Amino acid sequence: MNRTLTAEDARAFLAAHRKVRYVDLYVVDLNGISRGKRITADKLASACSEGVYLPISIFASDVLG
């Protein structure tokens, strides 16, 4: 099952886990390497609804960088 995390899911998770300060967001590039960024917990709901910006260069790198 492929399910997207909604802003409501994010708010419910953070309400249940009040000590969470940061969230790591990952995407796997074409070489199978995880790339991503760390955001503060208060930005998670907007990241779920609006998305986040990642550099386009993550898709142009090879396994050697």
Average pLDDT of the segment spanning 42-65: 84
Confidence of residue 27 (pLDDT cuts 50, 70, 90): confident
The residue ranking higher by pLDDT, 2 or 41, is 41
The pLDDT value recorded for residue 39 is: 96
According to the per-residue pLDDT averaged within each range, which of 7-21, 28-42, 46-60 is highest? 7-21
The pLDDT value recorded for residue 25 is: 93
Domain ranges of the chain: 7-52
CATH architecture of 7-52: Roll (3.10)
Asked whether the predicted pLDDT for residue 19 surpasses 60, the reply is: yes
Could you please report the per-residue DSSP string of the chain? ---PPPHHHHHHHHHH-TT--EEEEEEE-TTS-EEEEEEEGGGHHHHHHH-----GGGGT--TT-
